[in-house]
Structure 1
Amino acid sequence: MTFASLGLTPALCRAVRELGFSAPTPIQAAAIPAALRGDDVQGAARTGSGKTVAFALPLLQGLKDIRFEWPRRPQALVLVPTRELAVQVGEVLRDLAGAMPEPPRVAVLFGGVSINPQMMGLRGGTEIVVATPGRLLDLVEHNALRLDSIRTLVLDEADRLLDLGFADELARVLALLPERRQNLFFSATFSEAVQALAAGLLRDPVRIEPPAGGEDTPAITQRAIEVDAARRTMLLRHLLADPAWDQVLVFVATRYATELVAEKLGRAGLAAGSLHGELSQGARTEVLKAFKQRRVQVLVATDVAARGIDIAALPVVVNYDLPRSTDDYTHRIGRTGRAGSPGLAVSFISASTEAHFRLIEKRQHQRVPRERIPGFEPVETATPEQAVGGVKGTRMSKKDKLRAAAAEVLPPPHPVRRS
């Protein structure tokens, strides 16, 4: 199968090949024809599956016959949960749009930076808006942007959009959009709240689910290494001596831990940086740039980095701290093994986290054999309570309650079907 066989223009076919796609991935082969027909799409999109291109190409092709007026009016809106993902999606859209005879304008809008340059950038209008919900609403309130001309809405990583703080903002954005529009809905995981949002948002959607064990399944080897919590940094330093570990993303639970672990690695002579939500946008951009350029070998991050970071052939991801939820585990390890490249995901397991990792294994239907590294064998053993408790108990956390309640907050009435 070729991109031309999907109904794309020769210019866009050339542009996508220049991005490194020689043939459509399964999500692209299924989503692109449906989106070009004007259908709503509900896509289960694994990380690294080529999902951004799957919606970017139909968006751009849909604009090829639009006569651009002045000021330009937004035709497509892509909502994303993080700044990093907004930048990534914007780059893909601009790269592809550069092949068009009359490229549409792409505005990338996110918080954490001054709003004034973004307001200035919107003067004269734009055809495509990529935005996080909060900053989008800020710009609407400043009369810098109107959404009543949107013809296509993309919800990218919809599961994360339902996390803490996004539900109310998403509902407010949806209320500003025309009822007659196309909806493209992508999510790596489909909780009850995400399914409820899809049911309220989409009309007769084309549903796309990657086949189990299909060719787009990430080639990720998972390892679980038993180690006492106090010796995790020493074990990490030992593992980083492997030449294959020349670029490693390490996930920890807190902002403090990102800085502490990065500092300890730096004192050991390793190039390490930290990434967390309290960094300024400039600092976040700089450390990510250094990591991508391999000037930094180890990036120690909270889950702010679990979405929206696209690093070609990232060899290793380490769960220094286990994530709270199975969904977050999926997104963390999905940073490696992307676009057909092999990847390695290593989890550090202590006596206090063994039960929680068993829960993660159960949810992902995969058993990961336990390993012990000579010289780092654990001495602590799990208590009976630890053996059955896990990190995530039977009572719902505040965040989980918000996710579950999102189904009641978000779904608007079914949109009127497009003519």
Structure 2
Amino acid sequence: MTTVLKNSAFDPSAIVDAVRSVLPESRPLPLHEPEFIGREWEYVKDCLDTGWVSSVGSYVDRFEQLVADASGTRFGIACVNGTGALHIALVAAGVERDDEVLVQALTFVASCNAVYHAGAVPHFVDSEGETLGLDPDALDAYLEGIAEIRGGAAYNRKTGRRISAVVPMHVFGHPIRMDRLVEVAARWHLALVEDAAESLGSTRDGRLMGSGGLLAAVSFNGNKTITTGGGGAVVTNDEALAKRLKHLTTTAKLPHRWAFDHDEIGYNYRLPNLNAALGCAQFEMLPQFLSEKRALAERYRAAFATVPDAEFFGQPEGCVSNYWLNVVMVPDRAAREALLEALNADGIQARPCWTPMHELSFNGECPRASLSVTEELVDRIVNLPSSPKLGRQG
């Protein structure tokens, strides 16, 4: 990552002009909006015509296979949303009450909330500038200083709690160094649960995101690359885990023609057939949307190539990113705020990165590593309009 000195004389006008040169003149321009140009109406109408609108139906089965295929895994389990998917993935991975779960501080709050939903404690770790996501080398060095292995599990020497899992998130669709994190997770006996909410279709060294760990959670919220309106999924290569996830997400009900017997505490995390039908049609459009999003990213990159105080964040080496949200890096927080004000005043929706997890009030007592890279990145990131159709013009 290029280090940029603070510049009190920052003028956002050149960056705004570069953004305008990429985007259509019509306003307002949302950050990321869904688009339904395939067979969505046909598939949803089929649900209505046949009456299969609730939590079972052929579209659910088809959707689960499609998400598995798009993640490079054998199994997919549809869920009500991405947060629920991550929560149930942590439960299935063996995370228990009062465990600690390693989560990068630079992430959406759902990564953190899912840990709390599992009864565990988030433990925040740093990102790296080259990917924006979790830094495996920094994590390994940090665990050397605070953790020990006892009885085949990692324990935090300072808190006494077990550290049971690590949750990397591929920020804005850019893959982290998964191969290295797999090594670190194995060394410290950690379950590796990917938060692949933003990275559908992204690859690193030819491998799809969602396939590198024990389990992964995917989101199909309305602002994602493709959407089911509200929905998510867990993907895995482990057949036993897939069966357990299906059981847990369907209220842990034992199969029977009429009896309602449940053998453990379960969750009603089922995705309705209506939403799955929408998702099946959206999956048919995924190759086109990915191509259009990458075309848009290339135009942004070219537009910023000669603009002072602006650095387009491109895909990491060895990666093919879905560019879920495009990023321009500016010198510092003051520049970030000036650019956000200028773009939004022009009807171009732009936003900063999320508030880092360790800065949220309810996370104040959570353990954390040094987060210096996270804090620098947050000061510099501005997200730009990234809807697929914006890559279709010109």
| TM-score of the pair, normalised by structure 1 | 0.33
**Highest relative contact order (Cα 8 Å, sep 6+), 1 or 2?**
2
